[in-house]
Amino acid sequence: MQQPRHRIPSRRRTLALAGATTLVIAATASASSTLSLPSHATAGPVAIADEAGLGPCRISATMGVQMSEGMPTPTGYSRSTGEVHALNLMIDFPDAPGPGSAMDRFGEFFPQTTAWFRTSSYGRLVYRPEAPVKSWLRMPLPFSAYGIDRGSPYEPGYRRLVQDLVAIADPKVDFREYDLVNVLVTPNAGPSALDTVLSVTFSGNADAPLADGVPLANTSFIYSRQDDGSGSYGQTGYRVLPHENSHVFGLPDLYTVEGGGSVGHWDIMSEDWGANNDLLGWHKWKLGWLDGKQISCASKPGTTDRILGPLATRGGLKLAFVPLSAESGYAVEVRTQAGNDRAVCRPGVLIYKVRSDVDTGLGPITVADSTKGSRGCTRSPNVQAELSDAPFQPGQTFTNAADGIRISVVDKDSKGNYRVRITRS
């Protein structure tokens, strides 16, 4: 049974522009048996060994939860380490002919998306965008005939669209050669992204239409342009694609009915409009971009100190995790204005709660705000201001008395490393 999830509009325009819509289909087949070839990447999210001492911190995926934050990521999604080959097909319609060339549309997302994944993954994901067809692929029906709207399910409109697309592209494309598919729709099809966000991903869907004998199980559709009118589209408009492709790798939406109020601009799965931002350390571990040596598991009672380096830099200890149960815990990491985190206006120690028993789009992650009610430290458009100064500074402490947890930031050294003291009763 296909169970779609989609973004819920916010009451405020600035928050409503926080991220792209997602439809998530339950996974029933492994990526290695659908879209992969032996020469492609080894499975990233599903092949992580249970490192010694980290078992209590690898909170488990919860059955029946859409895109659970737990580990390991279920099979069926695309691999997230090594070389990933992304097929890009540019399409238009009789009632919405593509303006300019199809490769101009391709150029709105590449090479920026490739660079974003390279930076975020520390080079562990080599994203290969390919466009074997350089021209617009004209669909046989008008855009309006497919009945595509915000939150549309795979049936029947998208299934018809995919079937038509495969019939047209198949003579020129061997779909077996790719790990995921991006359908870059002409931006004049449908409403502006300022009015409604149509961009959507169907991930882990083994019941998708077949192409060359394999289901298009992990496919992102990109519409319109995420242009907020600030003049920054050329630098930041591409980020809808890494957001949507991260769903293909198994990551959930972190925005909620209130927009980006749970996570703010600390993860591209929360806000992908406006200034650049990265993924949370938890997601990097889940995707296989951080290994066990870079994770510290605070599962035992007592007080211990950890020295955490900035998440943006390679190597070293990056994430401390304090498990609360088999489905939840607190993550601790250092965020600075480096790498993909260009919008950071208050570097420091970010603390957030992770829950694997909460569906995508319903708040599986919540950032702790060290300066509640401050209105934040940024005025960048489409950035959730209140949480922009959430990180804790030396001398500040996060306390959860109910769970017997204290997380204190002790000091910071000259290299930007923070000493964090974790106490649990």
Alpha-carbon gap, residue 191 to 188, rounded angstroms = 8
Of 307, 313, 321, give the one whose Cα is nearest residue 351.
321
The 10s digit of each residue's pLDDT in 283-305 is 999 999 999 999 999 999 999 99
Domain check: are 233 and 350 in the same one?
no
Same domain, 69 and 145: yes
From 230, 248, 266, give the residue that closes a domain. Answer: 248
pLDDT digits (tens, 9 = 90+) for 383-404: 889 999 999 999 999 999 999 9
- The answer on 286 and 390 residing in a single domain is yes
Please give the backbone phi and psi of residue 138, each rounded to the nearest 5 degrees, phi first. -80, 120
Residue 4 has what pLDDT? 34
Which residue, 309, 313, 331, 314, is CA-closest to 322?
Answer: 331
* Same domain flag for 72 and 147: yes
| Collapsed DSSP state (helix, strand, coil) of residue 56 | helix
For residues 154 and 236, membership in a common domain is answered with yes
Average per-residue pLDDT in the chain?
Answer: 88
Range of the domain at 150: 13-248
What single-letter DSSP state applies at residue 71?
B
List beta partners, residue 296: 320
- Does 71 reside within a domain? yes
pLDDT value, residue 31: 26
Report if residue 6 sits inside a domain. Answer: no
Q: Based on the domain organization, do 160 and 218 belong to the same domain?
A: yes
Final residue in a domain of this structure, among 248, 266, 294: 248
**How do beta strands 200-202 and 219-222 pair?**
antiparallel
CB atoms within 10 A of CB 118: 15
Residue 86's Cα: distance from chain center in Å? 16
263 within domain boundaries = no
Asked, for residue 259, whether it belongs to a domain, the answer is no
Does 36 score more than 50 pLDDT?
no
Q: What is the mean pLDDT of residues 61-73?
A: 93
Query: Which residues in 139-179 belong to E strands, given as ranges?
Result: none
Is residue 325 helix, strand or coil?
Answer: strand
Give a yes or no: residue 168 inside a domain: yes
Which secondary-structure segment (H or E) carries 125?
A: strand 125-130
Mean pLDDT value of segment 351-369: 97
Cβ atoms of residues 410 and 419 within 8 Å = yes
Residue 3 counted as domain residue: no
Do 244 and 285 share a domain, yes or no? no
What gap in Å lies between CA 290 and CA 311, rounded to an integer?
10
Q: Which two tokens stand for residue 210?
A: 């077949």
Q: Judge if 242 and 303 occupy the same domain.
A: no
Tell me if 258 is assigned to some domain: no
Q: Name the least confident of 20-29, 238-247, 316-325.
A: 20-29
Domain membership of residue 270 (yes or no) is no
221 shares a domain with 156: yes
Token pair, residue 27, equals 């996974």
Nearest one of 175, 103, 173, 185 to 138, comparing CA atoms: 185
241/311 same-domain check: no
Boundary residue ending a domain (248, 271, 303)? 248
Work out how many domains the chain is built from and give that number: 2
Q: What is the DSSP letter of 157?
A: I
More confident residue, 383 or 332: 332
Same domain for 89 and 211? yes
Do 331 and 281 meet the contact criterion of CB atoms below 8 Å apart?
Answer: yes
Same domain, 114 and 30: yes
